[in-house]
Amino acid sequence: MHEFNDLTSLARYLPSRRSGRPRDLVAPGPDENALQAMVALASRTPDHGKLAPWRVVHVAAGQRDALADLLAAAYRAEKPEAGRLEIEAMESFAHYAPALLVVLHSPKATSKIPLWEQELSTGAFVMNLLHAAHAAGFVGGWITGWPAYSDAVRDQFGAAPERIAGFVFIGSPSQTLEERPRPDIASVFSLWPGPVA
């Protein structure tokens, strides 16, 4: 568990967060209570209109075989020419990491809040979820891939206009997490020069 007493502590924490490859995450993972606590922390995110335009579905360990069957069947239905390796990849996907949360973007279409802002809020929620997992001593990996864009898969967790924002796998690293290249600050930060004439 990390404690932040000042900005120096936070400055040490943020650079230590890494995403883990879901296929490389192993036990131990968080239990149901820990997952609920992470979701509660993640909900402390920018949310114009207080809409909470997201939902989280926990796929428990005992449900992974059923998820594998679902993914394989949906993939075959959409891609009947799929080969054995593609189907095995779908089945493996369902068994990554000890814990799996399916995050759904659940827009409130009748709200005056623009849908784009609701999408941004959902993305911020998932990022907070990764931070919550890290703060609890675990590693998270947020991935999409074919299952996130399949209506047949989405329909097992929700309904249109909802979309799967991602699959968040959480566990412990089986190997040292690699640092990935980060953008040079000069390429993403600049000073506004003022109005253009």
**Residues 113 and 140 sit within 8 Å (Cβ to Cβ):** no
Structural domain spans, the chain: 20-61+97-174
Mean pLDDT by groups of 10 residues along the chain of 197 residues? 62 84 96 97 96 98 98 97 96 98 97 97 98 95 97 97 98 91 94 92
Instruction: Decide: helix, strand or coil at residue 77.
Output: helix
**Full-model pTM:** 0.92
Of the options 3.40.605.10, 3.40.640.10, 3.40.109.10, 1.10.3720.10, the CATH number for the domain spanning 20-61+97-174: 3.40.109.10
Q: According to the model, what pLDDT value does residue 180 have?
A: 87
Task: Give the model confidence (pLDDT) of 118-144 as tens digits.
Answer: 999 999 999 999 999 999 999 999 999
**Residues 54 and 121 sit within 8 Å (Cβ to Cβ):** yes
Number of residues written out for the chain: 197
